[in-house]
Amino acid sequence: MGVTGWGEINNMENDVTCRLAESLSEIIIGENPTRIEHHWQRLFRAHRNIRGGGLMVHTISAIDMALWDIAGKLWNVPVYRLLGGPCRDKVWMYPSPKAIKTGPGGSKPFAGTPAEIKELVQKVRDAREQVGPDGAVMFDAHSCLPPPIVKQFASYLKADDLLFLEEAWVPGNIEVMRKIRESVPVPLATGERDRTIWEVREILEAQVIDILQPDCGHGGGISQMKKVAALAEAHHVPIAPHCTMSHLGLTASLHVAASVPFFLIHEGYKGVLPESVARKTWEMDEEGYVSLPEGPGLGVEVDEASVIETGKDAERKFTWPDSRLKDGSVADY
């Protein structure tokens, strides 16, 4: 029928994920593209030994976005209409003039000196001065602050200093999350690296966070993000979607954010890719709210020639991070 859908693979080694996408596509080529849930299950459960891994789920996320894009175009409605319709008229987003996120500026030692703790606290103070008392400040610990230094840092914070403290641990250890929950006065958030409903379930049931941060490009696409939001709602935990994708993946995530009732704020950045790659149909107002995407499907116009040209840019080639402490030892980030 000549309908094309687009999705985005995020934070992955390009050569590997593109080849994986081609391989996975063999499972669903020739099928009805509107059987989105059925196709998601076939892709996710295609091979027992690689089910659920980052490479697989990130790649499936992009395919899922593309299928929703096709479905919306076939029925000539925005994707959020297919998800039950909008629960809000606009979506609060950061960074904006009244909502910003700060962070530690790199990996820190297991426990900090007074000078190191003062530096972290000052980052919060500087951000608060920038947005004022009616603005929102978030601090992304990025899993590069070990639990002891998180406790030291957070002991200087008041409950209303932050909208939330993000990734104050390395994913996977519920007991560490409980200990931090007991000693930290500000709301806690996590979820960008917790893929699918099966990984999120344990965190929600343990009641160790206040805000969940699913990522549409990391956690299984639009299909899983909608389910994760419902699971979080059942635990009275709003979502604040994590997103470092271009306007394509970001818009896919906004469709979910528009359609779920329990939502706080959405992350999204300019300049991830050149504007010519993916043209959006929403705009941000002075208060940091963005309008709902317009047009059928995702509502993003993709320039395939620009995509190909951007992919040839050597400066955009994936490189492996090398996060280390001052002594040269490997650090989390």
Residues with catalytic annotation? 142, 242
With tokens 């190191």, the residue in question is 116
Do the beta carbons of residue 251 and residue 299 sit within 8 Å?
yes
- Rounded-to-integer distance, Cα 70 and Cα 101, Å: 34
Prior bond to 95 cis, omega within 30?
A: yes
Tabulate helix, strand, coil % of the chain (nearest 5).
Answer: 40, 10, 50
Nearest to 231 by CA among 199, 253, 255: 199
From start to end of the chain, where are the E strands? 90-94, 99-102, 136-140, 164-166, 188-190, 211-212, 266-267, 278-279, 289-291, 301-302
266 backbone dihedrals φ, ψ, rounded to 5°: -125, 140
Do the beta carbons of residue 217 and residue 59 sit within 8 Å?
no
Give me the helices (H) in 155-293, please: 174-183, 196-206, 221-234, 247-259
Nearest to 37 by CA among 223, 218, 301: 223
- Rounded-to-integer distance, Cα 170 and Cα 173, Å: 7
Q: How far is CA 206 from the centre of its chain?
A: 21
